[in-house]
Amino acid sequence: MAEAWRIVKARLAAEAFTGEGARRFGGRWNARGLALVYASEHLATAVLEMLVHMRPVIPREKLLLFRVRMSDALIERLPAKSLPAGWRLYPPSAITTGIGDRWAREARTAVLAVPSAIVPEETNFLLNPEHRDFRKIRVSAPEPFFFDERLSGI
């Protein structure tokens, strides 16, 4: 059983597991138009992923934390060593969006484990809300989450 964490702005809670944000804006592992849900294996990695996307950090912003549990049988793993050079570029390129788009279109699994571009030794998960096994993924009730005020200078 694998565990993951997802932090979202409270006002977006209703769409936290629809993939709507990634569909609208795209992401490292998907082009615009493809709905995917991003989560991190560790809570600290989920915090780092939020920090790189939130500028400035607003310590009192209303955020929600979700714990995600999924069977290992639902996960395809993509190790960093198998990725081509340049996969960590910012902004993300077609190198990674093509990989995620192809995985989602082929519907090989409900979850793809990928390395974090921030800390490649850590794992992020892409959840495909269109996959038939997506319903097997268990999501906790949301809990309030706040950044430490000392992060406001970042």
Chain segment 82-120, per-residue pLDDT in tens: 999 999 999 999 999 999 999 999 999 999 999 999 999
Cα separations in angstroms, 84 against 1, 13, 69, 89: 29, 34, 29, 11
Task: Write down the pTM of the prediction.
Answer: 0.95
User: Which residue ranges make up each domain of the chain?
Assistant: 2-146
Please state whether 33 falls in left (phi above 0), alpha (psi between -120 and 50) or beta. Answer: left
CA atoms of 39 and 46, how far apart (whole Å): 7
